[in-house]
Amino acid sequence: MAALLFAAAPQAAAVEKHKVAIIIDDFGNNMKGTGHMLSLPIPLTIAVMPFLPSSRQDATAAHEKGHEVIIHMPMEPLRGKRSWLGPNAITTDLSDEEIRRRVEMAIKEVPYAIGMNNHMGSKATADERIMRIVLSVCKEYGLFYLDSKTNPHSVVPKIARELDVPVIENEMFFDDVYTSAHVTRQASLLLKRMQEEKTMIIIGHVGPPGEITASVIQSHIPQLKEAGEIVFVSDLLAPKPFFLP
């Protein structure tokens, strides 16, 4: 009687979890929701505006809570008041030297920062001269750049690739409308998109919507964890290719 041979069943490949990175903008001025956001028991990427009364304090507090810190660099918008930008913003009328000086000052103002994104900036991020200088400084200081995508015609991805600066792009906002109903709808949309996309990036804010956004995120933590893994935005950067000599 012939022996029965059984092939070993191949082990099922580990299922990779879908991932989401949550960035919270506008720290640095002790804005509404600051304490609540920092106390959330999930990894957050905290974007701190430089040159403000609590910039250093907020960056340090975020780091001590185990969050990731990036610089939230104020940049000129197509519309809106210049007063919304805060001090030492990057505007298109500045010289190359002054742009560089302000970016370097901002890096020194925000301890523990490992990256940068833009505060407003719909005009500046579409300007090749401006972004080439900003991204060159980021490269010199070893920072990645998160394009907040306040302008669909941003030149950031193109210039970052040319300069070999690690870059990643925002995909949606929690609180572009400051109501609980809207932020809750955005959280539901995020959960839906997490089922369809391997990675998602979303930005929220402290300030006028801060407490609303923090409360909605907090109430959705169980669903977010069920849908995937909550990570820092730096965890989603594409790894550099590795070549054997």
- Give the model's pLDDT for residue 67: 99
Reported as a pLDDT band with limits 50, 70 and 90, residue 244 is very low
**Rounded Cα gap, residues 34 and 25, in angstroms:** 10
- Give the model's pLDDT for residue 15: 63
Mean pLDDT of 19-48: 98
Mean pLDDT of 174-196: 98
Reported as a pLDDT band with limits 50, 70 and 90, residue 14 is low
Domains of the chain (ranges, CATH numbers): 19-235 (3.20.20.370)
Q: Specify the range with the lowest mean pLDDT, choosing from 57-61, 104-108, 234-238.
A: 234-238
Percent of the chain with pLDDT over 90: 87
Q: Over the stretch 96-128, which tens digit does the pLDDT of each residue have? A: 999 999 999 999 999 999 999 999 999 999 999
Mean pLDDT of 142-160: 97
Residue 240 pLDDT more than 60?
A: no
Residue 13 pLDDT more than 70?
A: no
Residue 238 pLDDT more than 90?
A: no
